[in-house]
A and B are shown apart, each in its own frame.
Chain A
Amino acid sequence: MEVRWALRSYRPIMAHTIRATGLRKRYGAVRAVDGVSLEAGEGEFLGVLGPNGAGKTTLLEMIEGLREPDEGEVTVLGLPVWPRNAALLPRIGVQLQATSFFERLTAREQLRTFASLYGASGARADAMLETVGLAAKADTRVEKLSGGQAQRLSIACALVHDPEVVFLDEPTAALDPQARRNLWDVLRAISTGGRTVVLTTHSMDEAETLCDRVAIMDEGRVLELGPPAALVRGLDVPARVSVPSGRLPRAEAAALPGALDAADDGVSLVVSTRDPAAVLAAMGARDALDGVQVRGATLEDVFLHRIGREYRA
């Protein structure tokens, strides 16, 4: 608990834009969300990371005001989100799924229709299309957009009224790596200008790249909460130095100064160490640095450490 408090105070706490306390939601015997409290400050980019079925979407839906919690309450911008709060809705933007569109409309028509729901102008909608890089696809029907383009349009629909808080539910799931990285640029741009963003994802590198703070969630509970770098550092996992097999005998590698252990699978020789600088210096002295790679702990290690490696569908 001490660690967690330390992590939470890593960033000075601003006025809470989002405050969720003691949220619980169960479906029959399944505790989808089992006692979650979260805050997000103004301008913060908060990630909710977890495997499928961890309760991320249920948590997000309760924070958005789409689902009534069994227990606990949520305020966004100081206003209660449940029941449907018409005063709050113009100030938040939501992206649920890339397919939540009116059928057979073009990208421009789609965005203009959503703009009209919020009383935003058509000009603003067209500008938004430009912002997400879909100007060239303005006259393409939504059914003909690629997965990445549909996600961009869906995000544009969430932003068309310039909301103060934005919720994105797994925006990059099911995208190819290139489309994902392209979308990251769009997502990074969203959080400029003091906008608060909450994003769910099951991708570690996405959370690490985009988020100020990450909540790691599993089985309806938040297991870790803090800036990605602090979570990784707090994990205290050895770094791994690898070189192609054959540069050094395994036994010699294991005996290097600072080395904890060494393994050779015939392709790579991997030395684990808490002092990569010493290992690299010793390898350099043996002229064995050709093709070296150093890999520190990542959010993935934190995730696997907390959640385990067993397969869960």
Chain B
Amino acid sequence: MNTGVVRSLTRALFVGFVRDRAALFYTLLFPLFFLVVFAGVFGSADSPRVEVARVAPVPLLDQALAHDPGLRDTIEVTAYRTPEAAVRAVEKGDADAFAAQDGGTLSIRYSVADRVQSGIVQSLFGGLTQAANRAATGERPAYRLEARQVEDASLSAIQFFTPGLLGWALSMAGVFGASTTLVTWRKNGLLRRLRLSPAPLRSVFAARVLVSLVTALIQLAVFLGVALLPVFGLRLTGAWWMSIPLVLAGVLAFLGIGMLVGAWARTQEAASAVTQLIVLPMAFLGGSFFPLDSAPGWMRTLSYVFPLRYLNDGMLDVMARGLGPASALPQIAALLAVAVVTSLAAARIFRWDAT
């Protein structure tokens, strides 16, 4: 290894990367764009709201809202002029239920188009009715339910999708970066040219890896910087700094996959297509876009094939779930193992030139 060579090559490659507008876009702006979209879609979803339509006052509902102000965060009541208008609102999804009260009978109309929401509506009104019945008997309740979430009280949607989207951005940059570099350098003859220079080839590869590691740290900083803005409201938990070694190990794994693709592919088009075929399913099955807790068992098992799963899990543990620094070590080990295996495989099928 020759440090002078590594330094000057790293500088040259980094300058070349910074001047590549398309690469910069896909590495930084594109994932941030998703962060904005996800924040918009899921930002208000941390406490699901139920929108109730009514025409005449519903005394039972009004009493409950007056009695428990916390319910106002969950239930939003909108008045409609006619029952027909209220039913149409439910059909269109503008309201989750149309509630009416006739003496002792509380009636609700709901749509099964959204099964989750219709379930919430039924259990909510069932609960209200039972509470009112019990209050009418004048009995003191024998049992009381106290519910609290296990995570940090600050946990909201952004805590979940910041690590996921960051992992996806890192995997795209890593796999694309390595495969593109290898195919381009082979096609334009730079690989052969470098082979005929006295610079050790280790130094050339070390420089390329260094550029990717630096790029990944910039991605991490930018991503966390944006997500921490009050608009998005990310809050970092105790051992969040463990995401730095996690990110570095993740990049090595993705570079390994990229080198494997680049060593195999003969053309840029083939490399891009195969990279997409790997990165996109990996992003979905690795849990970047949605949590896998509710996914079927086989899908969860399959997800462990992808290194992104380990990176996402590890980052979620330390950034959002508040677990200690040691919790990330198994994930780091798994990522490094992927890096070693893929790099060795890439070295085996490596070719200097296109013929």
Contacts and interface: CB of A to CB of B under 8 A. Distances in A.
Contact of B190 (A92, A94, A100, A118): A100
Interface string A84-109: 10100110101011011111110001
A96 B187 CA distance: 12
Interface string B14-43: 011001100000000000000000000000
B198 A102 contact: no
B345 interface: no
Interface stretch (B1-9, B74-82, B94-102, B140-148): B1-9
B193 interface: yes
B189 A96 contact: yes
Nearest to A85: B198
A101 B196 contact: no
A102 B20 CA distance: 12
A303 interface: no
Interface size classification for chain B: 20 to 34
B8 A112 contact: yes
Given A86-B198, A119-B4, A104 B20 contact: yes
Contacts of B15: 104-105, 109
Contacts of A117: 5, 8-9, 194, 197-199
B19 A104 contact: yes
Interface in B190-228: 190, 192-199
Chain B interface helix/strand/loop/mixed:
helix
A101 B8 contact: no
A66 B190 contact: no
Query: A99, A104, A117: which has the most chain B beta carbons within 10 Å?
Result: A117
A99 B198 contact: no
Contacts of A113: 8-9, 12
Query: A27, A65, A103, A104: which has the most chain B beta carbons within 10 Å?
Result: A103
Nearest to A112: B8
A116 B9 contact: yes
Contacts of A99: 188-189
Interface in A1-55: 27
Interface string A115-126: 011110000000
A103 B17 CA distance: 9
B184 interface: yes
B323 to A, nearest CB: 42
Query: A64, A104, A112, A157: which has the most chain B beta carbons within 10 Å?
Result: A104
A66 B192 contact: yes
Contact of B198 (A64, A90, A105): A90
B170 to A, nearest CB: 22
Contact of A96 (B5, B16, B184, B192): B192
B190 to A, nearest CB: 5
Nearest to A92: B196
A86 B203 CA distance: 14
Given A112-B8, A116-B5, A117-B5, A105 B16 contact: yes
B196 A114 contact: no
B325 to A, nearest CB: 39
Contacts of B278: none
B13 interface: yes
A102 B199 CA distance: 15
Given A94-B193, A117-B198, A101 B4 contact: no
Contacts of B13: 102
A27 B188 CA distance: 22
Interface in A41-80: 64-66
7 contacts: A90-B198, A100-B193, A103-B20, A104-B15, A105-B16, A109-B15, A119-B198
Interface of A: 27, 64-66, 84, 86, 89-90, 92, 94, 96-97, 99-105, 109, 112-114, 116-119, 141, 157
Given A89-B198, A92-B196, A97-B188, 12 more contacts: A66-B352, A96-B192, A96-B196, A99-B188, A99-B189, A100-B189, A102-B16, A104-B15, A113-B9, A116-B4, A117-B199, A157-B193
